[in-house]
Structure 1
């Protein structure tokens, strides 16, 4: 399954991933500075949410493509559905 996203969708996912990267760098810096545990965990939760949202956007695009391409091939659609379900559950 290829990652085939429209330019605006791809830009949104990349922005989320860059935001998560910045947040992760902040977590590392906070730990190195000995910051409060609650602050570190709060920032880690933000990183996790950003990664989840990027992953869900990618899966949603895959599902959209699957529905468009697999309408005429039930067996292929079922295989793609199983793969997307597995991906979705890996994020849940």
Structure 2
């Protein structure tokens, strides 16, 4: 049985979790705003803030993936390197479309 390599974000996991918990709180706040019939623009402003926070997490994870997983695969070369580059390109495309 081969060991699964640690994810690229292993060193920043705590910081990512902290940010995600903060975003979770923002989303709960959004639910509360809608339940309380808050002004539309105020809700939209908070949606934008939560979206930007999620994008920041995604970009951080992507950067770490490139610096760790993709870099290591390229150093090894071969089909694995090609697969990691395609995988990273697809992830960037998903982020750009969202």
Show structure 2 runs of 5+ residues with no match. Answer: none
Q: Equivalent of 1:32, from 30, 35, 49? A: 35
How many residue pairs were aligned? 91
Show structure 1 runs of 5+ residues with no match. Answer: none
Task: Establish whether residue 78 from structure 1 lines up as the match of residue 82 from structure 2.
Answer: yes
Residue 65 (structure 2) aligns with: 62
What's the TM-score, normalizing by structure 1?
A: 0.85
What's the TM-score, normalizing by structure 2?
A: 0.81
Contact 2:8–2:67 (8 Å) recurs in 1: no
Deviation at 1:72, TM superposition (A): 2.8
Deviation at 1:29, TM superposition (A): 0.3
- Give the Cα–Cα distance (whole angstroms) in 2 for the partners of residues 46 and 29 of structure 1: 16
Runs of 4+ more than 4 Å apart: none
Residue 55 (structure 2) aligns with: 52
